[in-house]
Amino acid sequence: MTCLRVSPRKPPANSPEAPSFLLSTHGQLKLSIIQEHEVLAVSVLEARGFLTECQEPCDSYVKVGMFPDSDPPERQKSPMVPHCRNPIFLHTFYFVVSEGDLHKRMLFTVWNSNSTTRMSVLLGCMSFSVRSLMDPEKEVRGWYYLLGEELGTKKHLKVPTQHNHHSIEAVLSNHGAAPETNRPENMQCLTVTILRGKDGYGFTICSDSPVRVQAVDP
């Protein structure tokens, strides 16, 4: 698990400093989503930084479906890639979008299949507004963080590009070998800048030590 320190680019009015908070992520997923009329072509390309709680490579697969109305068994599933920290999926799903689907979110969940218990454990997730994906000017392509279940069903977070990309990749590589990464003193902290939208940053925070996400806008 990687710990990100998230800070807005511009502080809110009447605030001398931009607030920041720690955000746990669970690896990264590379996606490409293309809109063709009423069809979304959703490609899950590859991933990196997938580790179990024991810091071992995962037997991972990805499930994709519309949320919250679709049942988990109805979500489409990629083939499983065994014992790999940086799996390559290269799998494309197709979704026909109706008017009634525009209020939903396209949900990506990543799972680790445990061969011993024959049960799957959620590694992380992310989601995108279907309405925004149907916008011809919307481009979804690149690396995205896997978030915890509560946040990932409501939001997505793109990995910074250009000069930040290499430093983040190096931190993740070093972090993967660190012992007891669930302890705060062993966590790596990254800084992510969030652009302010016309209605704010898309979330509210509470407390100050540590700062926590209180609510996330849909």
pLDDT tens for each residue of 156-177: 999 987 644 444 443 333 333 4
pLDDT at 116 over 80: no
Domain total in the chain: 1
**Mean pLDDT score of the chain, rounded to an integer?**
77
pLDDT per residue as tens digits for the range 174-213: 333 434 444 444 444 555 566 666 666 666 666 554 556 6
pLDDT band at 126 (very low <50, low <70, confident <90, very high): very high
Q: Which H helix or E strand runs over 31?
A: strand 21-36
Structural domain of residue 45, as residue ranges?
Answer: 2-216
pLDDT at residue 123, rounded to an integer = 92
Q: Assign 46 to helix, strand or coil.
A: strand
Report how far apart, in Å, the C-alpha atoms of 189 and of each of 25, 167, 174, 175 are: 11, 12, 12, 10
Q: Are 137 and 95 in contact (CB under 8 A)?
A: no
- Those residues whose C-beta lies under 8 Å from the C-beta of residue 141, and which sit 6 or more positions away, are 31, 32, 33
Q: Which H helix or E strand runs over 41?
A: strand 39-48
CA distance 176 to 47: 14
CATH number of the CATH domain containing 16: 2.60.40.150
Both tokens assigned to 95: 């979704």
